[in-house]
Amino acid sequence: MDELFTLCNKNPKDHFKYDQLDTICHYFYEDGKRFIAYKSWDKFSESLSSVATEKEKNALKRQLQKAAFRYNLTAPIFIEQSLHRFKNYLNRKTIKGLINAGKLNLIESMNQENQKRVSNPYLVQYLNRFATYNGSDPYRAPALLNMIPHLEQNLGSYFPKGGMFNIPKSLHQLAVSVGVQFHFQHAVKEIVTSGKNVSAVRVLPLETLEEFHHPCELVVCNSDIYNTYNYLLPNHKAPQKTLSQERSTSALVFYWGIKSTFPDFHLHNILFSADYKAEFDHLFQSQEPFHDPTVYINISSKCEPNDAPEGCENWFVMINVPSHTGQNWDDIAAKARVNILEKLQRILQRDIESLIEFEEILDPIKIEHRTSSHGGSLYGTASNNRFAAFLRHKNFSSSIKGLYFCGGSVHPGGGIPLCLNSAKIVSQLIANQ
């Protein structure tokens, strides 16, 4: 975010403010064990004393250091440039990465490596959870993804002033300030081509329902790549092998207004499943959430007190679920609600249901409807094999000149940082065309 504002000759602090968090996340286990991940390693290490020996804590520290090494080595290759331009492999950083490929562990899964290097079951589960940052299964996702905790634990966790909504809000304001024109309430119906070139975008203004063609020679599409081919490019052959890849997880979210406060909780909180392997087997094999799900609770009022009335808290309660493939989400949500409340009561020793003043539910169908993400998957495709980075759709079309792709369903992946990086890659591709 800072880089983008700086590139536009703006002072980021004038437009987008955030605080670095000393407390990153509170972790809870079914057997009563708990610890807090702090930015400071000394404080983090002290908190880990409740679940780990000094030897095990040192093993975790080495794994976090290895995560930093992997990230610094591979980010210039896999995150900051297109993987689909041959010339990008002919630079010093890429060559260095290829020379050190043997240190990246391209064979084992995240869990296999974490069990081997850290062994402590509490710390292994802590490290494995980072697979969910791109909607994947740590028991199948490549060990290379063990670089992810570097971003949160080593570089730090941050809270944007005004909450997450301030990220798109500030980006919109920045774009307007440099001359971008937005046409809201205009549904794009087709990317029109003439021969092998982009020629126009067919648009339907929702207020008039009168279609028109917006002529253009260049289109950057950030719609889910699955829907782009199936709905926006109806006359072009879709890359079925790419589109048929396993989808990432989606989410089931309960928005709860809680008429009490919980000192044991902070901004980010994780209540782990007692059987993590079974949970991911259910998500990806059975296509249903586990009866004992890992629960993530975000409480922004811990950092922004005005987000909830005095003496109350706003809970964003989320569990990982499969993408939508025809499941009955009303039934799933009802069962999940019971399981989550029972889990909270077991771990917190407090009745939560009686404290819920407000409730709203977000499921994969609603996510798909609101964002056009196929099946409501949060990250496009999952990264459950060692070639996942290379199997994501590229940031440009090989068959249609002037058509580029960015966003969470294409290279380099989902989540705000990677989406911004995909836009950066596209801007470089366009500048160099």
Q: What is the DSSP string of 59-88?
A: HHHHHHHHHHHHHHHHHHHHTSS-SS-GGG
Residue 433 pLDDT:
81
8 A C-beta contact, residue 320 and residue 251: yes
CB 268 within 8 A of CB 28: no
CA angle 3, 157, 319 (to 5 degrees): 115
Backbone dihedral region for residue 293 (phi beyond 0: left; psi -120 to 50: alpha; all else: beta): beta
User: Residue 190 pairs with which residues in a beta bridge?
Assistant: 202
Q: Give the strand pairing for 403-405 and 219-221.
A: parallel
Q: Give me the domains of the chain, ranges plus CATH numbers.
A: 40-156 (no CATH), 183-245+379-431 (3.50.50.60), 249-371 (no CATH)
Distance of CA 254 to the CA centre of its chain: 18
- Residue 200 bridge partners (DSSP): 192, 215
Per-residue pLDDT tens listing for the chain (433 residues): 999 999 999 998 888 899 999 999 999 999 999 999 999 999 999 999 999 999 999 999 999 999 999 999 888 878 887 876 656 655 666 666 666 666 677 789 999 999 999 999 999 999 999 999 999 999 999 999 999 999 999 999 999 998 889 999 999 999 999 999 999 999 999 999 999 999 999 999 988 888 999 999 999 999 999 999 999 999 899 999 888 899 999 999 999 999 999 999 999 999 999 999 999 999 999 999 999 999 999 999 999 999 999 999 999 999 999 999 999 999 999 999 999 999 999 999 999 999 999 999 999 999 999 999 999 999 999 988 877 767 889 999 999 999 999 999 999 988 888 999 999 999 999 998 8
Tokens at 342, concatenated: 């029972």
Q: Beta 197-205 vs 313-321: how paired, if at all?
A: unpaired
Contacting residues for 65 by C-beta, under 8 A, at least 6 apart = none
